[in-house]
Amino acid sequence: MQRYLIIIEQGKRNYSAYVPDLPGCVATGKTLEELKANMSAAIEMHLQGMLEDHEPIPVLQTLGDYRGSSMNGPGNNALAVRVLLRPTDNENPRRKDWLYH
């Protein structure tokens, strides 16, 4: 199981997010809820494409942490995305599903 750090940025009219450990994996949404759904789909599509292209899934290298005393700041909005990938036809049938966060 892998947990990918997701960076969320708030714009004037929407939210955007990207995954530092998955270059090119980005999403936007008008609300945080829409962004979460779009980011989940983006990660799933990105990883599934890598598997289909026989590319290795990147090793996690990015860490995140929050510092400060404000309990009401934007850092208190956590996003956990769970993506279930199934092996492609070319994958070993003994390998079951992969679960990414």
User: pLDDT, tens digit, for every residue of 71-92?
Assistant: 444 544 545 555 555 555 554 4
pLDDT for the residue 96: 38
Q: Does an H or E element contain 27, and which? A: strand 26-29
Spell out the residues 6+ positions from residue 26 whose beta carbon is closer than 8 angstroms to its own. 16, 17, 18, 19, 42
Whether the CB-CB separation of 81 and 6 falls below 8 Å is answered with yes
> Mind listing the pLDDT tens digit for each residue in 26-41?
999 999 999 989 999 9
- pLDDT band, very low/low/confident/very high, at 18 (cuts 50, 70, 90): very high
The mean pLDDT value for 6-18 works out to: 93
Q: Is the pTM of this model over 0.95?
A: no
What structural domains and CATH numbers belong to the chain? 7-65+76-100 (3.30.160.250)
Q: CA 51, CA 87: separation in Å to the nearest integer?
A: 8
Spell out the residues 6+ positions from residue 59 whose beta carbon is closer than 8 angstroms to its own. none
- pLDDT band, very low/low/confident/very high, at 63 (cuts 50, 70, 90): confident
Which residue bears the tokens 């995140």? 64
